[in-house]
Amino acid sequence: MSVARITFAAVFSVMTCMAYAGEAEDLQQLLRARQFAQAVERADKFLAKTPKDAQVRFLRAIALTEMGRNEEAIKAFNKLSEDYPHLPEPYNNLAVLYANTKQFDKARTALQMAIQTNPSYAIAHENMGDLYARLASQAYDKALQIENSNSQLQTKLKLVGTLFNPNQAPATRVAAAQTTTIPLAAKVLPAANKPQVSAPTNIGIITPQPTLPAIVPTKTATPKATATALASISPTVAPKSTPTATPKSTPTTTPKATSTPNADKEQQQQVIASVEDWANAWSKQNVGAYVNSYAKAFKAPGGRAAWEKDRQSKIAGPKSIEVKVSRVKVSMLDENNAKVTLRQSYKSDRLSSNTTKTLLMQKSGNRWLILDERIGG
Amino acid sequence: MLRLSPWTKRLLCLAALLCLAPAATPRFFEFSDAPFELSSEAKGVAHTGSHEERIIAALDAIRSGNMADARATVDALIAEQPNYRLAQLLRADLYAMRVMPLSTIGGGVASAPSNVLDDLRKEALVRIAHRNDKMDADRLPANIVAFAPQQKFAILIDAATSRLYVFANDNGRPKRIKDHYVTVGLLGVDKKVEGDQRSPLGVYFVTSHLPREQLDKTYGSLADLYGVGAWPISYPNELDRSQSRTGHGIWLHGSPAATYARAPQASNGCVVLTNEEMLDVAQYLQPGNTPVISVPAIQWVSATQWQQQHNAGLALLAQWKNSWQALDTPQYLNFYSTDFRSGEGQNLAMWREQKTAVNTGKTWSKIQLEDVSIFAAGPQASQMVASFNQDYRSNNLNNRMKKRVYWQQDAAGWKIVWEGNALN
- Of the three residues A221, A248, A281, the one that is the final residue of a domain is A221
Lowest mean pLDDT among A162-171, A227-236, A287-296, B359-368: A227-236
Q: What's the confidence (pLDDT) of residue A73?
A: 94
DSSP β-bridge partners for residue B173: B170
Q: What's the confidence (pLDDT) of residue A215?
A: 35
Q: How far is A158 from chain B (nearest CA, A)?
A: 11
By the CB < 8 Å criterion, does A16 face chain B?
no
Q: Where are the beta strands (DSSP E) in A44-95?
A: none
CB pair distance less than 8 Å for A136 and B39: no
**CB-CB neighbors (< 8 A) of A353 in chain B:** 100-101
CB pair distance less than 8 Å for A144 and B7: no
By the CB < 8 Å criterion, does B345 face chain A?
no
- The predicted-structure confidence for A52-101, as pLDDT tens digits, reads as follows 889 999 999 999 999 989 999 999 999 999 999 999 999 999 999 998 88
For chain B, where do the domains classified as CATH 3.10.450.50 start and end? 301-421
Query: B20 pLDDT exceeds 80?
Result: no
**CB-CB neighbors (< 8 A) of A207 in chain B:** 27, 30-31, 33
Residue A239 lies in a domain: no
Q: What's the confidence (pLDDT) of residue A15?
A: 53
CATH value at residue A88? 1.25.40.10
- A–B: how many Cβ contacts below 8 A? 151
By the CB < 8 Å criterion, does A361 face chain B?
no
Would you say the pTM of this structure is higher than 0.90?
Answer: no
CATH value at residue A291? 3.10.450.50
Residue A85 lies in a domain: yes
- Across residues B109-114, what is the average pLDDT? 82
Same domain for A266 and A212 = no
Q: Higher model confidence: residue B112 or residue B262?
A: B262
Q: What's the confidence (pLDDT) of residue A1?
A: 52
The topology (CATH level 3) of B140-300 is: L,D-transpeptidase catalytic domain-like (2.40.440)
**d(C-alpha A212, C-alpha A164), whole Å:** 13
Give the mean pLDDT of chain B: 91
Query: A145 pLDDT exceeds 90?
Result: no
Q: Higher model confidence: residue A5 or residue A231?
A: A5
Residue A197 lies in a domain: yes
Q: Choose the closest CB to A21 out of B15, B26, B104.
A: B26
Q: What's the confidence (pLDDT) of residue B132?
A: 85
Q: How far is B293 from chain A (nearest CA, A)?
A: 28
Looking at mean pLDDT, say which of A196-205, A213-222, A242-251, B241-250 comes out highest. B241-250
Same domain for A313 and A180 = no
Model confidence at A173, pLDDT cuts 50, 70, 90, reads: very low
**d(C-alpha B242, C-alpha B75), whole Å:** 52
Q: How far is B49 from chain A (nearest CA, A)?
A: 21
- Across residues B360-374, what is the average pLDDT? 95
Residue A188 lies in a domain: yes
**CB-CB neighbors (< 8 A) of A3 in chain B:** 2, 4, 8
CB pair distance less than 8 Å for A352 and B34: no
For chain B, where do the domains classified as CATH 2.40.440.10 start and end? 140-300
Q: What's the confidence (pLDDT) of residue A158?
A: 84
Query: A39 pLDDT exceeds 80?
Result: yes
- Across residues B36-54, what is the average pLDDT? 78
Same domain for A80 and A171 = yes
Instruction: Look at chain A and report how many structural domains it folds into.
Output: 2
**d(C-alpha A256, C-alpha A196), whole Å:** 51
Lowest mean pLDDT among A184-198, A245-259, B96-110: A184-198
Q: What's the confidence (pLDDT) of residue A190?
A: 36
Write out the residue range of the structural domain in which residue A85 sits.
2-221
Query: A14 pLDDT exceeds 60?
Result: no
Query: B68 pLDDT exceeds 60?
Result: yes
Does the model's ipTM exceed the 0.95 cut? Answer: no
Write the CATH number of the domain with boundaries B301-421.
3.10.450.50
Q: What's the confidence (pLDDT) of residue A252?
A: 43
- Report how far apart, in Å, the C-alpha atoms of A66 and of each of A81, A111, A258, A324, B197 are: 19, 20, 49, 39, 60
Residues 50-109 of A with CB under 8 A from B: 108
Same domain for A18 and A138 = yes
Q: What's the confidence (pLDDT) of residue B318?
A: 97
Model confidence at A149, pLDDT cuts 50, 70, 90, reads: low
Same domain for A281 and A186 = no
Residue A319 lies in a domain: yes
By the CB < 8 Å criterion, does B35 face chain A?
yes
**d(C-alpha B235, C-alpha B245), whole Å:** 9
**CB-CB neighbors (< 8 A) of A153 in chain B:** 64-65
CB pair distance less than 8 Å for B102 and A132: yes
Model confidence at A154, pLDDT cuts 50, 70, 90, reads: very low
Residues 85-144 of B with CB under 8 A from A: 93, 97-105, 107, 110, 121, 124-125, 128-129, 132
Residue A226 lies in a domain: no
- The reply to whether omega before A183 is within 30° of 0 (cis) is no
Q: What's the confidence (pLDDT) of residue B252?
A: 97
- Across residues B410-424, what is the average pLDDT? 93
- The predicted-structure confidence for A317-365, as pLDDT tens digits, reads as follows 888 888 888 888 888 888 888 889 888 888 877 777 777 788 889 888 8
Residue B268 DSSP code: S
Same domain for A266 and A190 = no
Q: How far is A350 from chain B (nearest CA, A)?
A: 9
Residue A245 lies in a domain: no
Q: How far is B7 from chain A (nearest CA, A)?
A: 8
Residue A364 lies in a domain: yes
DSSP secondary structure of B16-40: HHHHHSGGG---TT--PPPPP--GG
By the CB < 8 Å criterion, does A370 face chain B?
no
